[in-house]
Amino acid sequence: MPYDFHHDHDFYLDFLARNARESIMPFCLEGLQALDANRKGWQNLEVLELGCGEGGNLLPFVEAGAKGTGIDLNQKKIEFGRQRMGQHIASGRMDLRGEDIYNPAIEKEFTGRFDLIVLKDVIEHLPDQPRALKQMQKFLKTNGLLFIGWPPWTMPFGGHQQIAEGWVQKFPWIHLLPRSSYEALLSWTRQSDETREELLSIYDCGIGIQRMHRIAAKTGMPILRETHYLINPIYAYKFGLKTRQQIPVLRSLPVIRDFLTTSVYLLLQK
């Protein structure tokens, strides 16, 4: 199957790090420099990644001089990340934890601490996105920034159906079926209980560009930077495709744009 890289932890961690180094970090650094013209790099900044998995996105920030903290509910991924990142953890430059952002102890420890929060391919998994953004806002320093990168719901594979088995994983826009029909299809194609549960969770939480804008506005976090991609930057490492930003004329046509935008990068300011 073409998506076996999701099960190869070493390879998956490596291309996450490469994507963060080459696309996420420059995008975020430009935002930080817009707020502080003297900012040259990542030295002495505190970066938090939520839904960090094994820490692949966080690693390049640490290598560039930031102090990185990652939390994730998946304890197995955290343990694997701790093994891979042992040198950085031992040095005190990285901290990986199996934690929940709503844990009162975490809220007390993290409030007002971070210069940047990274949320990459996570927002579409969160069941109450407005509540989550409000919680993240607490963790930021004054003028701190929140990076959100995600596949809009109506893009060809916005339902993450690529994690399914069989032909379903290769079928674009199939996740836009009515929920009952989609659930029946997953049962008919004999997806595992775990896969079916994950895909239906994403169905319920998937988020489009316009809704993301409304949530950001409601939370009181202005958009500092925004980039839409016709070809997601991470596809360069997954599939060997060249990164391409969205065609300008499509950006002015929201309905069509949302169906053909494979990734959005947002930088929100506290």
- Interval 168-190: pLDDT, tens: 999 999 999 999 999 999 999 99
70 backbone dihedrals φ, ψ, rounded to 5°: -130, 140
Confidence class for position 254, pLDDT limits 50, 70, 90: confident
Q: Where are the beta strands (DSSP E) in 101-253?
A: 114-120, 140-150, 223-231, 244-245
- Interval 7-59: pLDDT, tens: 566 778 888 999 999 999 999 999 999 999 899 999 999 999 999 999 999 99
Q: How far apart are the first and last CA of the chain?
A: 42
Is there a contact between 53 and 81 (Cβ–Cβ < 8 Å)? yes
Confidence class for position 1, pLDDT limits 50, 70, 90: very low
Q: What is the CATH number of domain 4-151+206-269?
A: 3.40.50.150
- Interval 95-124: pLDDT, tens: 999 999 999 999 999 999 999 999 999 999
- Give the domain ranges of the chain: 4-151+206-269, 161-203
Q: Are strands 46-50 and 114-120 parallel, antiparallel or unpaired?
A: parallel
Query: Beta-carbon neighbour count of residue 24 at 10 Å?
Result: 21
Helix, strand, or coil (residue 71): strand
User: pTM of the full predicted structure?
Assistant: 0.93
